[in-house]
Structure 1
Amino acid sequence: MAAQKDLKKDKKDIKLQNIEFVGIVREVHSGDSLTIQSTKTNNIARFFLTHVRAPKVGTNDTQDKPYAFESKEFLRKKLIGQQVEVKFEYEKTVKVAKSWEDDSEATEKQMNFCTVFYQGQNINLQLIQEGYAEFNFARTEEEKSQYHDELKTASEEAAKKKKGLHSTKNIPLHRFNDISRLKNKPKLLEHFNSLKSKARLTGVVELVISGGIYKVRVNEEPYSILVLLSGVRCLPPDSNIPEYTTWSSKALDFAKNNLLQRDVEIQLERMDNKGKFHATVLVNKQNYASQLLSQGLCFTFGKAKHTTEYEAIEKEVQAAKKGLFGSNKINIESLRGQNFDVDQKNVKAISGSIQAKLSELINTDEFYIQENSRIAVLDKMEKELDDFDLEAYPKLQQPVQPGTPCVALFSGDNNYYRGKIVKKRNDNKYEVFFIDYGFYDSVHIDDMCKLPEKWAPIQPFAIKLGLAYCVGLHDKHPLAVESDETFKELAWGKKIHLSYKYEDNGVKYVIVQDAANTPLNQTINFQLLKKGLVRLDEGVALPEELQAWQEEQDFAKEKKIGLWAYDEQENDD
C-alpha cells in the first residue's frame, strides 16, 4: 500500500508574477513552505521559497528527514505571526496523479514561489547560509530568481563550513509520542500526573482542532497532548444551526491566527473521565481563554481555576452584546446546562428563593421545577404548540449534533414540545431532553424539526435542582423507588418554596419547603433524611443551624431505619 502514496509529476506550466506585497505568516509547513495572508486583500495562500529545498517533514507513517525539524523550527520561531515582505516571483502548475492512476486522471496543482524578507533580511538566504536547506537550481530561465547566484554561493559556503545538514556529525533525531491517541486511561492518567508535576510546562501548538481544542507538542517531555481550554466552551459547527457554524468558524479562525504554532505555557488542571486534558493556556504570558472570551467567541462553562475571572469578562461582553452574545438565536444558558464531565466538587454558596412547582423527578439528586412567575409565558407557548404543524418547519439534517435545539414529539402524550438533542440512539432515533419540563424521550428523526426562531431566545422553563446537603440512593438500591415516590407524594402538584443554598458544577441545590416559614425540621429534605431515604452529603459542610439533621441521621443509622438497614456495599454500589 505504501506505493499507492507515491506521486508522479508531469511537465510544468510556468507563469511569471513579479508581484510584491506585505503579508502575515499564518502557518509554517516545512523549512521551505509557509502560508501567508496579504494585509491588503486578506487573500491567503501557500508559498514555496524559491531555490530552497528543505528536508522533508514526516507524516503519521514516516519519520522526518534529518534536519527537517530544525529547518521548520527556524522558520516558525522567526516568522509565525510576523509581518513579512513577499516577492511573489512565479507560479507553476503541476499535473499530479497517484501512482495507480492514468495521466488522464491527473489533477492540476498550483505552486507559488517567492522570496520572503523579514526586517530587511532575506529568509531564503538565511536558511541556506545556516545549513537548514539546500540550494535548488533553476531548471529554466523563468524559474531563475534575481537572488539565484547569491543563494548558490551561500550554499557552497555552508557546505565548506559543514553547517547544519552538511555536517558529518551525529544527526539530531526528534520523535514525539502522541499520547492523545492512548486508549489506556490508567496509562494516560500516569502521563497526566507526570506532566502536571512539572514546575513549568511549555510547548508549541501544532494543530488547532477547534476554537478551544488544540494539539500541543510538549517541550519538557517527548509528547504531543490534546488540550481543552478549561472553564470555557466554543460553539460546535452544526449543519442544523447556521449561527453555531458561524461562531464556531470565527473562534477557529481566531485560534489559527493567534495560537497556531505559538510558544505557549500549559497549566494542566484536570483529566476528565474521557481522558481529555483540561488546562489554562498562556500565550505571551496572557491567558488565551480570557482573550477568546473578550472577543465574544466562547462562553463560561463548568468550573475552573480562573472561573471568577472568566465570569467577570463574560458579564462585560454580555452587556456589550459582543460576538455570539449579540445573537438572539443562541441560547447560552441552555448550552451551559448541557452535561459535562464532573470529576470533583466545586461548591459555591448562593442565596435566594423562588416559588415553583415540580415538573419532573428523575431521582432525589436530579429533579426539575418551573417557576410560578413564568407559568403564564409557558402556558402561551403550550397553546401554540397544541396546533403545531411539523411539516411547516425545516427538518433536522442527520447526523444531528448533541445540544441541537428542536421541537420534538413526546410519546407520553403525543404532543410537541421544545427540546434539545442529547445523543443518537440508532440510525433514526435520538434521545431528546425536553427543556421546559425536564423529561427525556427517544424520538424518531421524522418526529422532530428545527426550533422556530421565535422560540429560540426564550430561556428553558425547567430548572435542574438537587436536594441541598443530601445524597440520594443509586438506581438499583432496594429503596430507590420508595425514595422517589415519597418525594413525589410530598411535593407533586403543590406550590413549593425553594431556598437556594449552594451550586456545584452548574447544578443548584435547595431546601424544599411547603412555605417560606416552614421549620427546617419539617422540610422535604429533612423528612426524607428522617425516613432513611437519603443521607447527608459528606462532601458539603453542614451549616450550624442544621446540626439537628446530623443528629437525626445518627438516630436513623442507630435504629437501622431505611437505607441504614442495608450494608455499606449495598448503599455505595
Structure 2
Amino acid sequence: MLFIAFAVEMASTAGATGWLRGIVKAVPSGDCLVIMGNTKAEIPPEKTVTLSSLMAPKLAPRRGGVDEAFAWDSREFLRKLCIGKEVTFRVDYTVPSINREFGSVFLGDKNLALIVVAAGWAKVRQQGQQKGEVSPFIAELLRLEEQAKEQGLGCWNRAPGAAEASIRDLPPSALSDPSNFDAMGLLATKKGSPLEAIVDQVRDGSTVRVYLLPEFQYVQVFVAGVQAPSPGRRAAPEPVVGTEVSSNEQNGDSAAEARAP
C-alpha cells in the first residue's frame, strides 16, 4: 500500500466548504460516478461527477461497439472500489460546453482520483481549455502517473497482447432492439442452469440489467414471481445534493492521509 499525504483547504464556516456527502449509485466509466444525495425524499436527487483532470479509456455504448483498450478494466476497478458506498465530494470546475461537472471525491480519507491514477487506470490531463480547469491535486496526480508508467500498471501495461485482450466487442443490446437477442433460444439451451453475468443496473426491486458473460450481451432480467413498486419518473436533478460536511470533519480544517494501492 502506498500512503499519500494530501492537503485540504481551510474553511471558516461549514457553508463555505462546498464538500457534500452522497452514495455512489453508478459508475459509468473509470473516471465518472453518479452520486445520489443523502435524503429522505422518495426519489433522491443525483449528480454525475467526473474526477478532475482524469481521462479514462472510453467504453463502447451498450447498444454495441468496441471499447478502447483497458476501458472495461478501468471502469470495473472504480466500480468495485466505491459502488454503493458513501463518499464525500466537491465540484472543482464545470465545462458548460459539454455540460459536465468535474470534482474531487473521497472514500473515507482516500482520494479516488489518486487511487485510480496510482493503479494506472486513468491518464492525467494537466490543464483544461480554460484557466482553473484542473484538479487541486494535480501535482500528486502527475507524480503517481509517472510511477504507474514506470511500473507498467493498468493502462500502461506493456505486455504483448494485453491491450488487445482487454477490448470488448459488444453485440447489439437486447434493450434497444429485442430482435438482437434470442431469449427463447437461451431458455431452451440454458433452462435450469446457472448463467454468469455482471449486474450493471438495478432498475427496481424486481428488475436488473446485466451483461451476460462471456459475450457481454446486455439484457434486462425480471425476477420470477416478484413485482416491485416502480420508482416512477425522476425529478430534474437539483444543483446541490447530499449533506454538507462541517468544517471540523474531513476536508475541513485539518490535514488527512489517503491510501492508494
Fold shared per TM-score above 0.5 = yes
Question: Is the partner of 1:76 in helix, strand or coil?
Answer: helix
Which residue is 1:189 aligned to? 184
Instruction: Supply the distance in 1 between the matched residues of 2:180 and 2:168 (Cα, whole angstroms).
Output: 24
Which residue is 1:134 aligned to? 123
Which residue is 1:34 aligned to? 33
Instruction: Supply the distance in 2 between the matched residues of 1:176 and 1:196 (Cα, whole angstroms).
Output: 24
Question: Is the partner of 2:48 in helix, strand or coil?
Answer: strand
Instruction: Supply the distance in 2 between the matched residues of 1:110 and 1:165 (Cα, whole angstroms).
Output: 27
Question: Is the partner of 1:152 in helix, strand or coil?
Answer: helix
Match of 1:44 among 30, 43, 46: 46
Instruction: Supply the distance in 1 between the matched residues of 2:134 and 2:106 (Cα, whole angstroms).
Output: 18
The alpha carbon displacement at 1:157 in A equals 1.1
1:273-292 mapped onto 2 (5 Å cutoff): none
Instruction: Supply the distance in 1 between the matched residues of 2:116 and 2:227 (Cα, whole angstroms).
Output: 40
Match of 2:78 among 75, 80, 84: 75
Instruction: Supply the distance in 2 between the matched residues of 1:130 and 1:121 (Cα, whole angstroms).
Output: 14
Which residue is 2:101 aligned to? 112
- CA spacing shift, 1:58–1:47, aligned 2, 3 Å: same
Match of 1:90 among 89, 93, 105: 93
The alpha carbon displacement at 1:203 in A equals 2.4
Which residue is 1:148 aligned to? 138
Tell whether the 8 Å contact from 2:66 to 2:167 is kept in structure 1 after alignment.
no
- CA spacing shift, 1:135–1:65, aligned 2, 3 Å: same
Which residue is 2:252 aligned to? none
- CA spacing shift, 1:90–1:164, aligned 2, 3 Å: same
Which residue is 1:158 aligned to? 148
Tell whether the 8 Å contact from 1:53 to 1:133 is kept in structure 2 after alignment.
yes
1:117-516 mapped onto 2 (5 Å cutoff): 117-139=106-128, 140-169=130-159, 170=161, 171=163, 172-177=166-171, 180=174, 181=177, 183=179, 188-198=183-193, 200-208=194-202, 212-219=206-213, 222-234=216-228, 248-250=230-232
Unaligned residue ranges in structure 1 (runs of 5+): 1-16, 95-108, 235-246, 254-573
Tell whether the 8 Å contact from 1:22 to 1:40 is kept in structure 2 after alignment.
no
The alpha carbon displacement at 1:70 in A equals 0.8
Question: Is the partner of 2:146 in helix, strand or coil?
Answer: helix
What's the CA shift string for 1:304-343, capped at 9, x where partnerless?
xxxxxxxxxxxxxxxxxxxxxxxxxxxxxxxxxxxxxxxx
Tell whether the 8 Å contact from 1:178 to 1:225 is kept in structure 2 after alignment.
no
Tell whether the 8 Å contact from 1:18 to 1:90 is kept in structure 2 after alignment.
no
Tell whether the 8 Å contact from 2:64 to 2:172 is kept in structure 1 after alignment.
no
The alpha carbon displacement at 1:230 in A equals 1.1
- CA spacing shift, 1:114–1:179, aligned 2, 3 Å: closer
Instruction: Supply the distance in 1 between the matched residues of 2:37 and 2:121 (Cα, whole angstroms).
Output: 26
Question: Is the partner of 1:248 in helix, strand or coil?
Answer: coil
The alpha carbon displacement at 1:174 in A equals 2.4
Instruction: Supply the distance in 2 between the matched residues of 1:66 and 1:80 (Cα, whole angstroms).
Output: 23
Question: Is the partner of 1:56 in helix, strand or coil?
Answer: coil
- TM-score, with normalisation over the residues of structure 1? 0.33
Which residue is 1:66 aligned to? 69
Runs of 4 or more consecutive aligned structure 1 residues displaced over 6 Å after TM superposition:
none
Which residue is 1:103 aligned to? none
Question: Letter of the aligned partner of 2:66 in structure 1?
Answer: Q
The alpha carbon displacement at 1:118 in A equals 1.1
Identity of aligned residues (%): 25
What's the CA shift string for 1:490-522, capped at 9, x where partnerless?
xxxxxxxxxxxxxxxxxxxxxxxxxxxxxxxxx
Instruction: Supply the distance in 2 between the matched residues of 1:33 and 1:158 (Cα, whole angstroms).
Output: 20
Question: Letter of the aligned partner of 1:133 in structure 2?
Answer: A
- CA spacing shift, 1:64–1:89, aligned 2, 3 Å: same
Instruction: Supply the distance in 2 between the matched residues of 1:195 and 1:129 (Cα, whole angstroms).
Output: 41
- TM-score, with normalisation over the residues of structure 2? 0.68
Deviates more, 1:219-228 or 1:24-33: 219-228
* Larger RCO (CA within 8 A; separation ≥ 6): 2
Which residue is 1:22 aligned to? 21
Tell whether the 8 Å contact from 1:32 to 1:53 is kept in structure 2 after alignment.
yes
The alpha carbon displacement at 1:164 in A equals 1.7
Question: Is the partner of 2:18 in helix, strand or coil?
Answer: strand
- CA spacing shift, 1:90–1:175, aligned 2, 3 Å: same
- CA spacing shift, 1:153–1:191, aligned 2, 3 Å: same
Question: Is the partner of 2:79 in helix, strand or coil?
Answer: helix
- CA spacing shift, 1:91–1:67, aligned 2, 3 Å: same
Bigger share in helix = 1
Question: Is the partner of 1:37 in helix, strand or coil?
Answer: strand
Question: Is the partner of 2:78 in helix, strand or coil?
Answer: helix
The alpha carbon displacement at 1:193 in A equals 3.8
